[in-house]
């Protein structure tokens, strides 16, 4: 499984990848992007199986990235990993086609439960 991790923080990208591996996906391959624009380019080049994406980023935020993906015809499963976790933001994420939203700070158990519930395997 190839997973694109999009976050403007290199530290957070490392933490997300660590948590995904510890959640039972230790054979996952990762590619990385620092914002939505870079993420779009990675999707075109790498065709990942899953996208894990921050919300607030410079250049292109996660919500705009998701909308751009869908408008280009990519139906790659997409989940937010973000400090934005108010009910309004969760509803906006769902309404835009995100499979899930993992709120920061998170635990390995949250990753495991969320990815399993979303049918990621």
Binding region for another protein (CB under 8 A): 8-12, 14-15, 18, 56-58, 82-88, 103-107
The tokens for 40 are: 């779009």
Based on CB atoms, which residue is closest to another protein, 14 or 118?
Answer: 14
Give the contacts of 35 (CB within 8 A, at least 6 positions apart): 6, 8, 57, 58, 59, 60, 61, 65
User: 21, 15 in Cβ contact below 8 A?
Assistant: no
Minimum Å distance from CB 11 to another protein? 4
Based on CB atoms, which residue is closest to another protein, 14 or 28?
Answer: 14
Minimum Å distance from CB 12 to another protein? 5
Based on CB atoms, which residue is closest to another protein, 76 or 85?
Answer: 85
Q: How many Å apart are CA 13 and CA 52, to the nearest integer? A: 9
């Amino acid at each position: 499984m190839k997973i694109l991790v999009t976050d403007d923080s290199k530290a957070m990208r490392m933490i997300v990848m660590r948590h995904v591996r510890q959640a039972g996906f230790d054979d996952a391959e990762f590619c990385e992007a620092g914002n939505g624009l870079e993420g779009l380019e990675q999707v075109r080049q790498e065709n990942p199986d899953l996208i894990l994406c921050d919300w607030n980023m410079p250049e292109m935020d996660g919500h705009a990235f998701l909308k751009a993906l869908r408008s280009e015809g990519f139906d790659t499963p997409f989940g937010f990993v973000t400090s934005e976790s108010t009910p309004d933001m969760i509803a906006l994420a769902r309404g835009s086609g995100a499979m899930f939203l993992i709120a920061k700070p998170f635990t390995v158990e949250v990753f495991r439960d969320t990815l399993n519930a979303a049918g990621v395997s």
